[in-house]
Amino acid sequence: MENGDAERLGTRLPAELGRLAGAMNAVLERDRRRLERARHAAGNLAHALKTPVSVLTTLADGFPEDSRRRLKGELTRIDDAVRHHLARASAAGDGP
């Protein structure tokens, strides 16, 4: 399990250990589902932010030079963070 080659503990064990392994498997499954929901939510959030950031970047073109440069700098930081989290959510979705 530690190396990622198994997702569940075997339960063909003496009764006490089998129950413990079953309980651990339930915890592992709950955590797997929770992690999957978090990955999905991160991806959804990043996608939801992409369009408004793009629109704001386009609108910034109408601002005076100093304001435009500052605004576009901040929007670039947001866009970089969005892309980073989209990539992480995508890569994590391929994980165990």
Going by pLDDT thresholds of 50, 70 and 90, the confidence category of residue 33 is: very high
pLDDT digits (tens, 9 = 90+) for 52-84: 999 999 999 999 999 999 999 999 999 998 888
pLDDT-based confidence at 1, cuts 50/70/90? low
Task: For Cα atoms 17, 9, 35, give the angle at the middle one, nearest 5 degrees.
Answer: 125
pLDDT score, position 6: 67
Domain ranges in the chain are 15-93
Give the predicted TM-score (pTM) of the model. 0.59
Cα–Cα distance for residue pair 52/80, rounded to 1 Å: 14
Token couple for 20: 């413990």
Q: Give CA–CA dist 24/32, Å, rounded.
A: 12
Contact of 13 with 21, CB cutoff 8 Å:
yes
Residue 26 has pLDDT above 90, yes or no: yes
The listed CATH number (1.10.287, 1.10.3430, 3.30.1120, 1.10.3470) that belongs to domain 15-93:
1.10.287
CB proximity list for 79: less than 8 A, separation 6 or greater: 50, 53, 54, 57
